[in-house]
Structure 1
Amino acid sequence: MRTAFTELVGVEHPLAGFNRTPAVVAEVSRAGALGVLGATMYSPEELDEQLTWIEEQLGGRPYGVDLMVPASTTQQDLNTLVTDLRSQIPDDHRRFVDGLLEKYDIPPVSENDALDRLGRIDASLETNMDTAIVSELLDVAFSHRIALVANALGTPPPAMLERAKAQGVPVAALVGKREHAEKQLAAGVDLIVAQGTEAGGHTGNVATMVLTPEVVEIAGDVPVLAAGGIASGPQLAAALALGAAGGWAGSVWLSSHEDAASQVIKEKLLEATSSDTVVSTTRTGKSARQLRSAWTDEWQAPGAPSPLPMPLQSMLVREAWERIDVTAEKGSGPARELESFFVGQVVGSFRGLRSTAEIVQDIVEVCEARLAELGRLVEPVQR
């Protein structure tokens, strides 16, 4: 299949696979699609290491990286900034989280138990608004052979767009509304990812079926990828039928062997139905679709405080989630009740763990078959 997207980034299949695990990214690209590394929680040094490793696996095949580059950054000293932000967290919220951990018997994390894996957040990354850090991350990304750079936070700043264009790297941006797409197009992005509410992580309230054609209508020559609910061949075929140049898949890779999620999280995902997700602000301060659990239910209970805005909420709950993850992996039932992860409504289609390569192959082959079937529905015009 050849589309404007495959031509733009040089891949065989009109599919982008977004994941925070380098092994998944590499396998998606090896299978002929475009692996995109979700790198918002890496330090510059870690990002350099991961991109180097990915390139070693790919032998020149294209891949992309997704960063969080705010339109404006701060010149304030980072330690001072973090201290100031933490001082804005109300004591009532701290007491609520402490009480929640006590209720579910979640002990503190010792040095021996501390997680050393993807998802970890240190003080320097709690805001990602520091000028030096953002600049270093961009330096690292553009020092590698990336085929695409995506911005996970609003419109890419002019400096990012100028640098990408100078180096011939297409810039992608995620949108959840038509008006967001209008701003991105005016800024000059090369690819729009129209993400419907079905998607995992930060998402809006417009469905993919509605959002995609709205964005395609105004995008002109700029390719559009449909995101949210893209986990199978028929869903990719539907995206193409809506006028998209391909699909952007994220949640489906959580059902891969290569994804870094813990065994506890994967077990819960395999048990879930498509109705077992909830859009909640309780992890980051912004609306994000995730697996419903005791954690999200407790924040909805009478007397619970309202979640704080980003980045205060993520700073409030960062340590709590590390404690929950560690305790759940040790076999704690109460911790398992709290355990959750960002995932879209396609979680209900997970039937078991597969290799990333198998997932890509299945999506592409079934998509091609479905498109052929649809083509046979149209009878030749008799003249």
Structure 2
Amino acid sequence: MRTALTERLGIEFPIFAFSHCRDVVAAVTNAGGFGVLGAVAYSPEQLDAELSWIDAQVGGRPYGVDVLVPGKLDARGTRVADLVPAEHRAFLDDLLRRYGVPAPPGATGEAADEFAGRVTASGATGLVEVALKHPIGLIASALGPPPAHMVELAREAGVPVAALVGTVEHALRQVEAGADLIVAQGTEAGGHTGEVSTMVLVPQVVDAVGPVPVLAAGGIADGRQVAAALALGAQGVWCGSVWLTTEEAETPPVVKRKLLAASSLDTVRSRSRTGKPARQLRSAWTEEWDRSPASPGPLGMPLQLLLAEGAMRAVNPAAERGEPGAVDLAGYYVGQVVGQLDRVRPARDVVYDLVRGYGEAVDRLAGLAEPDAAESEPDTAD
């Protein structure tokens, strides 16, 4: 599984693992892949501590950091939580009451403001500055073109910049903004996605941005799908959902059980969690925000993200206690490959299974290309 990108980054396998869990990142990196830590869950101080832990675990092997840059939010002099309309607060309060979940403490206080600040351009830049103090091998921008200052900081540190895209047009804008690596993410992926499938998107992006390397994302959970991605011209794969049911994953146990029981039809692209279309497990939360006649509709990012993450601070513990309403509301970002996630495994084993399955797929394809032995023998008649 050697590609130009494995040589460039000094990794054994072109398998990139996005996760909010440091344990998954370290396990994948130590198995020969490339772990990427989602930084949005952390304050700068927390991120520094998490990266220091990873540094100690991986022994100099490369890993990356992903930041969320949703765009502009001018809230100077204003508490971000105060920008949430009263009707949305009222709807959320009523929703939690109807499902028997106590109101989440601190959902609209200082902690919420601090969280919301991380998903602004300035907040993301602060996380990037922390990340670049560590020996990371990649910085990724998850939404929109990377800010110029972020690219400048990465360039000065000699760290390549990756960017996630859902269309060819977005890919071209990302390259123009300075991205060194494009992650072409199809609509079947978990989290923020567009409407174009991976099979269609990847070759179009490869053709449009070459020689800039491309990773394929969306619908990749076994080696056959890795082989397909490389056949489409990608130099590697970017996976997220497949790590959610690993032993190391940060996924709340109740959500992990729901993921293991779900089919590929049990996901939905919904704005209910972040304010932008994000594929996630279908749940009472998505149904209430997207389909209830009483819903005021999701807010934009980061305000909807603020509401949702605040609510989940109460929903997840209540779900773990077995409270039925909370179990119905609980969910997480996941792609359509959830239908392939049927057991809990160490992240290391997932990496090795991806590699093994890739090899088997390539061998099978090579066999199809070989001429039939009888047909290949020369005709010596006469």
Q: Same fold (TM over 0.5)?
A: yes
Report whether the alignment pairs 1:345 with 2:340.
no
Q: 1:73 to 1:159 in 2, by over 3 A?
A: farther
Deviations 1:260-286 (A, max 9, x none): 111101110011000000111011111
One of 81, 84, 101 as aligned partner of 1:86: 81
- Of 85-94 and 9-18, deviating more is 85-94
Question: Superposition pairs for residues 22-101 of structure 1, below 5 Å?
Answer: 22-69=22-69, 77=76, 80-81=77-78, 83=79, 85-101=80-96
Local SS of the residue matching 2:264 = coil
One of 285, 294, 315 as aligned partner of 1:295: 285
Q: Does structure 1 conserve the Cα–Cα contact (< 8 Å) formed by 2:25 and 2:63?
A: yes
Using the alignment, how far apart are the partners of 2:40 and 2:306 within structure 1?
Answer: 15
Question: Superposition pairs for residues 310-325 of structure 1, below 5 Å?
Answer: 310-325=301-316
For the pair shown, the structure with the greater C-alpha radius of gyration is 2
Question: Match of 2:6?
Answer: 6
Paired letter, 2:170: H
One of 77, 84, 102 as aligned partner of 2:97: 102
TM-score by length of 2: 0.92
Using the alignment, how far apart are the partners of 1:261 and 1:222 within structure 2?
Answer: 33
TM-score by length of 1: 0.91
What is the CA-CA distance between 1:89 and the residue it aligns to?
A: 2.5
What is the CA-CA distance between 1:71 and the residue it aligns to?
A: 6.4
Report whether the alignment pairs 1:152 with 2:142.
yes
Question: Match of 2:264?
Answer: 274
Question: Match of 1:375?
Answer: 366
Paired letter, 1:254: L
Using the alignment, how far apart are the partners of 1:295 and 1:38 within structure 2?
Answer: 23
One of 243, 249, 261 as aligned partner of 1:259: 249
What is the CA-CA distance between 1:158 and the residue it aligns to?
A: 2.0
Q: Does structure 1 conserve the Cα–Cα contact (< 8 Å) formed by 2:43 and 2:118?
A: no
Q: 1:10 to 1:348 in 2, by over 3 A?
A: same
What is the CA-CA distance between 1:72 and the residue it aligns to?
A: 5.9
Q: Does structure 1 conserve the Cα–Cα contact (< 8 Å) formed by 2:167 and 2:194?
A: yes
Q: 1:89 to 1:36 in 2, by over 3 A?
A: same
Local SS of the residue matching 1:53 = helix
Q: Does structure 2 conserve the Cα–Cα contact (< 8 Å) formed by 1:239 and 1:247?
A: yes
Paired letter, 1:363: L
What is the CA-CA distance between 1:73 and the residue it aligns to?
A: 7.4
Q: CA RMSD in A?
A: 2.2
What is the CA-CA distance between 1:55 and the residue it aligns to?
A: 0.9
Question: Match of 2:20?
Answer: 20
Deviations 1:117-163 (A, max 9, x none): xxxx6421214366764443222111110011111121112222222
Q: Does structure 2 conserve the Cα–Cα contact (< 8 Å) formed by 1:71 and 1:156?
A: no
Question: Superposition pairs for residues 117-266 of structure 1, below 5 Å?
Answer: 122-128=112-118, 133-266=123-256
Paired letter, 2:256: K
**Which consecutive unaligned segments of at least 5 residues does structure 1 have?**
115-120
Local SS of the residue matching 1:317 = helix
Using the alignment, how far apart are the partners of 1:110 and 1:315 within structure 2?
Answer: 13
Using the alignment, how far apart are the partners of 2:334 and 2:86 within structure 1?
Answer: 30
Q: How many residues align?
A: 371
Paired letter, 1:106: V
Q: Does structure 2 conserve the Cα–Cα contact (< 8 Å) formed by 1:17 and 1:250?
A: yes
Using the alignment, how far apart are the partners of 1:29 and 1:108 within structure 2?
Answer: 39
Deviations 1:85-139 (A, max 9, x none): 433433222221111111111123569xx9xxxxxx6421214366764443222
**Which consecutive unaligned segments of at least 5 residues does structure 2 have?**
none
Identity rate, percent: 51
Using the alignment, how far apart are the partners of 1:71 and 1:332 within structure 2?
Answer: 37
